[in-house]
Amino acid sequence: MHTFWPDDDVLYAAFCRKDMAFDGVAYIAVRTTGIFCRPGCPARMPLRQHVVFFRTPHEAMAAGYRACKRCRPIEPPQSASALIRRLVAEVDAAPTRRWTAADLEALGIDPVTARRHFQRRFGMSFLAYSRAHRVASAFTLIERGASTLSAQLDVGFESSSAFREAFSKRFGRPPMRAKSSVLLRSAWMDTPLGTMIALTDSSCLHLLEFSNRARIDLQLARYRNRLNAAFAPGETAVSRTLRHELDLFFSGRRLTFSVEPAETGTPFQEQVWARLRRIPPGTTLSYAKLAEEIGSPSAVRAVASANAMNRCAIVTPCHRIVGTDGSLTGYAGGLPRKQWLIDHEARHSGRAGLAHRRAS
């Protein structure tokens, strides 16, 4: 059941500007080549009169189209290649190891290919990725009471100025101030609606948002300021649970989450977010109704703004909030994704009859 489907001109314009809010929502097929793509494909944009749009890869294939080899519309967006999985496992097993291009060659991996894969997925080269892990290990050592010097040596930095610089650049503070800050781990989650970035610590989820790979550096700098925390790539027990629960969510097997969002908002925001988490999947609630329920009927705008400040997309389901007239209103991940989530929940919660339907 799809209630939201923009007309072809709107879709064509969205594909032209590589609007990633349509990633996982719409596919473009080219009659002249018989190939279909996802939004953001690096291939040249086909002419308007040659294209047709589909809602799922399955529908495109049923109509006789083949998947593009460049944007791979059948795989989850930006899914990790075997090469990435192998190197990520190597780094996880030995996070303080110092890597060189020669080490990659010794494993039979072309350093240029590794760089390209990592750049595309993480916004940094493999060598930068492994260096980030070394510096993050130093953070953990210092947090646990090691001296700056022993941490530096343990993670393979011979020069203390190079260590200080790498550390400050990554965490926005020098090593001696590491003890007073929090280290969050960033991990990528592949979903049918695009890749999401999750920031977690060993007990809580701090952030879950759709990631924009072209602007990932900016996005990370913004998080660092907003959360006043340092972070480095890596998994935690929470990120592993979240990955599993997102799989269950997107396959429709379970629409609720057990991971705990960190309490980082104002008391009012926390109150709004807690209420959002009690909206049953497959249903929606208006800003006005939510304001009324938490006892501040006049606070509709404050409720809307707390809703917009939600950092844990899907887990704290701000997509279940709609305008009083039932309109979709805004969503940080883009309206196509919001409607997709509402439809998906309606389909899998057995509440299809109660689902929100877009007017018109």
Q: Contact positions toward Zn ion, by CB under 5 A? A: 37, 41, 43, 68, 70-71
Q: Which is nearer to Zn ion, 16 or 354 (CB)?
A: 16
Q: Which is nearer to Zn ion, 72 or 98 (CB)?
A: 72
Contact yes or no for 29/52 (Cβ under 8 A): yes
Q: How far apart are CA 84 and CA 357, in angstroms?
A: 41
Length of the chain in terms of residues written:
360
**Tokens encoding 171:** 């965490």
* Closest approach of Zn ion to the CB of residue 150, in Å: 50
* Closest approach of Zn ion to the CB of residue 44, in Å: 10
Q: Which is nearer to Zn ion, 67 or 136 (CB)?
A: 67
* Closest approach of Zn ion to the CB of residue 336, in Å: 18
Helix (H) or strand (E) holding 207: strand 205-210
Q: Which is nearer to Zn ion, 37 or 84 (CB)?
A: 37
* Closest approach of Zn ion to the CB of residue 33, in Å: 10
Strands (E), 71-193: 183-191
With the C-alpha atoms ordered 321, 311, 217, 195, is the resulting torsion angle positive or negative? negative
Q: How far apart are CA 304 and CA 299, in angstroms?
A: 9
With the C-alpha atoms ordered 343, 39, 197, 230, is the resulting torsion angle positive or negative? negative
Helix (H, G, I), strand (E, B), or coil: what is residue 7?
Answer: coil
Q: Which is nearer to Zn ion, 70 or 240 (CB)?
A: 70
Contact yes or no for 306/272 (Cβ under 8 A): yes
Contact yes or no for 67/50 (Cβ under 8 A): no
Catalytic residue among 37, 68, 71, 312: 37
Q: Which of 355, 351, 333, 332 is nearest to 342 (CA)?
A: 355
Helix (H, G, I), strand (E, B), or coil: what is residue 115?
Answer: helix
- Chain-centroid distance of CA 125 in Å reads 19
204 a catalytic residue: no
| Alpha-carbon separation of residue 153 from 115, 132, 139, 146, 147 (angstroms) | 26, 15, 13, 11, 10
Catalytic residue among 41, 71, 312, 318: 318
Q: Which is nearer to Zn ion, 68 or 187 (CB)?
A: 68
37 a catalytic residue: yes
**Tokens encoding 291:** 């304001």
List active site positions: 37, 318
